[in-house]
C-alpha cells in the first residue's frame, strides 16, 4: 500500500526550482509513495479573525494535508528564511490551535538555492517552526540542494546527474522512514 505524501512547494514562481524538484522527486520516488504536490497559489493570508468561518481555500488546503500520510516541504531560501507564502501555509494548516493538519505526520524538509549554501537557512527556519505542530521531522539524511540553477532543461526535466543521485537517495530514505513510522 502506497503512502500519500503532501509535497508542499514553497514558491509561487512559474519556473520555480522547488516545483521542478518536487516533480523530479515524484518521478524518482519508490512505488511505496504517492505524491500530492500542493502549490500555494490562491491560498489567502492567515487571519485569526476568520477562524469562525474559515475561507474555502483554507479548508481545502487543510483537507488536502489531512488526507495525506506524510508531509514533505520543498522550499527555496528567501533572505535566510522560508518564503512568506510557505510560512503563511504553515500558519493556515496548523490552525486552529490544537488541530494542526500536519500533526503526527512524518515530515521531511528539502531546501534549495541556485547559490552555494543550498537554502540551509530556510531548512533551519522550518526546523524551528515545525516542532509542536507537525509530526516527527526526518533528521538524516539532511538535504540542502545548492547550484540548482542549471539542473533542469527548458522543459523542467532534471538533467544534473549528481542532483538526481542525491534526490533519489533522499526519497528512498524518506520512504523507508515513513514506512517504519506508519507501521
Is the Cβ–Cβ distance between 109 and 126 less than 8 Å? yes
- What is the domain partition of the chain in residue ranges? 3-182
Cα(106)–Cα(70) distance, integer angstroms: 5
Residue matched to cell numbers 509561487: 12
Which CATH fold topology does 3-182 show?
A: Rossmann fold (3.40.50)
3-state SS assignment for residue 162: helix
Which stretches within 46-160 are classed as H helix? 56-66, 84-93, 120-129
Cell of 162: 549528481
CA angle, corner 43, sides to 40 and 49, nearest 5? 145
Dump pLDDT digits (tens) for 68-125. Answer: 999 999 999 999 999 999 999 999 999 999 999 999 999 999 999 998 888 999 999 9
The per-residue pLDDT for range 56-70, each reduced to its tens digit, is: 999 999 999 999 999
pLDDT for 183: 84
| Single pTM value for the model | 0.96
Amino acid at each position: 500500500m502506497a503512502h500519500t505524501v503532501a509535497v508542499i512547494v514553497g514558491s509561487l514562481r512559474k519556473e520555480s526550482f522547488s516545483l521542478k524538484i518536487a516533480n523530479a522527486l515524484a518521478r524518482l520516488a519508490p512505488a511505496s509513495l504517492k505524491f500530492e504536490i500542493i502549490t500555494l497559489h490562491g491560498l489567502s493570508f492567515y487571519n485569526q479573525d476568520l477562524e469562525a468561518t474559515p475561507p474555502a481555500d483554507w479548508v481545502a488546503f487543510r483537507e488536502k494535508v489531512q488526507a495525506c500520510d506524510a508531509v514533505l516541504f520543498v522550499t527555496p531560501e528567501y533572505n535566510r528564511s522560508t518564503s512568506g507564502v510557505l510560512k503563511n501555509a504553515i500558519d493556515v494548516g496548523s490552525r486552529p490551535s490544537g488541530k494542526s493538519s500536519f500533526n503526527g505526520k512524518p515530515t521531511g524538509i528539502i531546501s534549495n538555492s541556485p547559490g552555494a549554501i543550498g537554502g540551509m537557512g530556510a531548512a533551519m527556519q522550518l526546523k524551528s517552526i515545525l516542532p509542536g505542530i507537525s509530526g516527527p521531522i526526518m533528521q538524516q539524511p539532511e538535504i540542502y540542494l545548492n547550484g540548482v540553477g542549471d539542473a533542469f532543461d527548458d522543459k523542467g526535466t532534471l538533467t544534473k546527474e549528481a542532483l538526481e543521485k542525491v534526490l533519489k537517495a533522499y526519497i528512498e530514505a524518506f520512504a523507508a522512514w515513513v514506512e517504519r513510522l506508519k507501521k
